[in-house]
């Protein structure tokens, strides 16, 4: 176990069968056979690090639920393969162009841990041609030809599964394109395999600034010392780190857990960015929550905690990510607005009064 700190060791020793998993959690025979049944349809793999966070006896452990296949993945038939229509918005293999000024470039179909709630369940863990170098470079060529693209999101699967040299090749190509302003990565490795965030990787990324990283923590139990150190290495390299969580039934859909997660992220200097309504992907129905759950959580956060602890609650869709919240604007007329604060108190803000107070404003404001 002396190599536990090494990400290559973590990848090579991923848990992919019931016998290995039994070293971390107690499984009944029925559970073991269900895991095998589901595994033949949806791939699973768990790093020894992530498995070590599991509760041996509690089947409701949030780490277990995110990583160990559940028979419910096969029992629920609602949901779609590709609810966001990513495959039809793809002008080059693995490239998704949905917004005018930015794209998502899929460079890997491999992840350290295959999350049971994954939106890209349709291809993660499968050897797909879209991630070969010729496909990735076709995506880069599309970006080169499309001047409107100023922001490139490198995603997967998990891009940080690629070796440093491959990542650097992608970054070098992108940086040779004048109109690409920012490059960002979506990676779950700080959560599922923090060993991946080596100083060598961070030094390499820092050569291609501005580089941003968004990661994916869903539960306070994932906020370990190892994860905090991985994040710290990214931050020290000047890389801002944000977090995108998925709202998951029985995992983080209550205010206490969500607050602990958000406050824990701030302590690690990670900025909560998005909280996603779970996409209606086939095989994930057991994680779905009603839309009200997310709206209620945001209502219980905004005003009650640090403003920048509160993520935007997002419903993703084929026409883009849509932030949703209960309106605090109760009424808007030509001369006033009625607004509601976090406690439900209302206030009327009268605009003409402010406009007419020109005379008392300094000249620069008139």
Ligand X SMILES: *Cc1c(COP(=O)(O)O)cnc(C)c1O
Residue 107 partner contact from ligand SF4, ligand X, none using kind-dependent CB cut-offs of 5 to 8 Å: none
Query: How far apart, in Å, are the Cα atoms of 210 and each of 183, 213, 237, 284, 352?
Result: 7, 10, 11, 35, 43
| Binders of ligand SF4 in range 113-172 (CB under 6 A) | 114-115, 118, 120, 124, 156-158
Cβ-in-10-Å burial (0-12, 13-18, 19+) of 260 comes to middle
- Of the pair 68, 154, the CB lying nearest ligand X is at 154
The site for ligand X, by CB under 6 A, has a size of: 8
Element (H, E) at 182: strand 182-186
Q: Does residue 301 touch ligand X according to CB under 6 A?
A: no
Cβ proximity of 272 and 309 under 8 Å: yes
Gyration radius of the chain's alpha carbons: 22
- Of the pair 86, 253, the CB lying nearest ligand X is at 86
Q: Which position among 153, 193, 202, 247 is part of the footprint of ligand X (CB under 6 A)?
A: 153
Residue 38 partner contact from ligand SF4, ligand X, none using kind-dependent CB cut-offs of 5 to 8 Å: none
Q: Which position among 52, 99, 336, 337 is part of the footprint of ligand X (CB under 6 A)?
A: 99
- Of the pair 154, 171, the CB lying nearest ligand X is at 154
Residue 188 partner contact from ligand SF4, ligand X, none using kind-dependent CB cut-offs of 5 to 8 Å: ligand SF4
Q: Does residue 111 touch ligand SF4 according to CB under 6 A?
A: yes
Residue 98 partner contact from ligand X, ligand SF4, none using kind-dependent CB cut-offs of 5 to 8 Å: ligand X
Q: Does residue 321 touch ligand X according to CB under 6 A?
A: yes
Q: Which position among 43, 98, 117, 216 is part of the footprint of ligand X (CB under 6 A)?
A: 98
Q: Which residue has the tokens 């599309």?
A: 142
Element (H, E) at 202: helix 199-206
Q: Does residue 188 touch ligand SF4 according to CB under 6 A?
A: yes
Cβ-in-10-Å burial (0-12, 13-18, 19+) of 133 comes to exposed
- Of the pair 110, 268, the CB lying nearest ligand SF4 is at 110
Question: What percent of the residues of the chain are helix, what percent strand, and what percent coil, each to the nearest 5?
Answer: 40, 20, 45
Of the candidates 49, 55, 48, 50, the residue with the CA atom closest to the CA atom of residue 67: 50
- Of the pair 242, 338, the CB lying nearest ligand X is at 242
The site for ligand SF4, by CB under 6 A, has a size of: 10
Q: Does residue 259 touch ligand X according to CB under 6 A?
A: no
Cβ-in-10-Å burial (0-12, 13-18, 19+) of 55 comes to middle
Q: Which residues are part of the catalytic machinery?
A: 98-99, 102, 111, 115, 118, 120, 279, 316, 321
What residue ranges bind ligand X (CB under 6 A)? 96, 98-99, 102-104, 153, 321
């Amino acid at each position: 176990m002396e190599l536990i700190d090494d990400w290559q060791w973590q990848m090579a020793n991923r848990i992919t069968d019931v016998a290995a998993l039994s070293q971390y959690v107690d499984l009944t025979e029925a559970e073991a056979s269900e895991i095998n049944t589901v595994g033949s349809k949806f791939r699973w793999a768990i790093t020894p690090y992530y498995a070590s966070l599991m509760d041996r006896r509690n089947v409701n452990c949030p780490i277990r639920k995110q990583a160990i296949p559940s028979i419910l993945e096969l029992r629920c038939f609602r949901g779609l393969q590709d609810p966001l229509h990513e495959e039809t918005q793809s002008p080059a293999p693995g490239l998704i162009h949905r917004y005018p000024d930015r794209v998502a470039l899929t460079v890997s179909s491999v992840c350290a841990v295959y999350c049971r709630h994954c939106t890209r369940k349709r291809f993660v863990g499968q050897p797909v041609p879209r991630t070969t170098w010729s496909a990735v470079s076709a995506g880069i060529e599309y970006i080169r030809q499309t001047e409107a693209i100023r922001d490139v999101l490198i995603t997967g699967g998990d891009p940080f599964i690629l070796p440093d040299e491959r990542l650097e090749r992608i970054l070098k190509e992108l940086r040779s394109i004048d109109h690409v302003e920012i490059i960002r990565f979506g990676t779950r490795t700080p959560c599922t395999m923090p060993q991946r965030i080596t100083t060598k990787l961070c030094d390499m990324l820092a050569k291609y600034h501005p580089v941003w990283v968004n990661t994916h923590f869903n539960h306070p139990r994932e906020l370990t010392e190892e994860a905090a150190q991985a994040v710290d290495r990214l931050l020290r390299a000047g890389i801002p780190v944000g977090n995108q969580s998925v709202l998951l039934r029985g995992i983080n859909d209550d205010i206490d857990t969500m607050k602990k997660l958000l406050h824990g992220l701030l302590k690690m200097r990670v900025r909560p960015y998005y909280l996603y309504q779970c996409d209606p992907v086939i095989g994930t129905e057991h994680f779905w929550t009603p839309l009200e759950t997310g709206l209620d959580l945001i209502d219980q956060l905004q005003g009650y905690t640090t403003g920048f602890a509160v993520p935007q609650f997002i419903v993703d869709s084929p026409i883009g990510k849509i932030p949703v919240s209960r309106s605090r604007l109760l009424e808007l007329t030509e001369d006033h607005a009625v607004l509601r604060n976090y406690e439900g108190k209302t206030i009327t803000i009268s605009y003409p009064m402010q406009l007419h107070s020109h005379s008392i404003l300094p000249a620069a404001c008139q």
